Amino acid sequence: MAMTEERKNEIARSYLFKKQKLIPRSEKDCYSQLQDLVRKEGFGSFNPEIIQIWVGLTAKRFGIKIEEVQEFTHNLILPIAQEAFPMPK
């Protein structure tokens, strides 16, 4: 099931506020603000084991399903990775 923009913003807002102690610019652009933060500071690790640990901890911390965190993370990181490593034309 595709995650709605509203849900992406809810999760991003929680992450920005609880984890980063940042106050989002607005309710509607929390997701883009988090993308900007990841672009600036990086994701941390692309090691699958570390990512799975992070996903589990994040799900527990925010009280949401692991599958939802996985989808959110995939939707957040994939476009940024594609920007960094564009396919040759």
Q: Per-residue pLDDT tens for 28-79?
A: 788 988 898 888 888 878 888 998 898 999 899 889 999 999 999 999 999 9
- Rounded to whole angstroms, how far apart are CA atoms 83 and 56? 26
End-to-end CA distance of the chain: 31
Question: What's the pLDDT tens digit per position in 15-24?
Answer: 887 766 666 6
Q: Evaluate whether 3 touches 75 at the Cβ level (below 8 Å).
A: yes
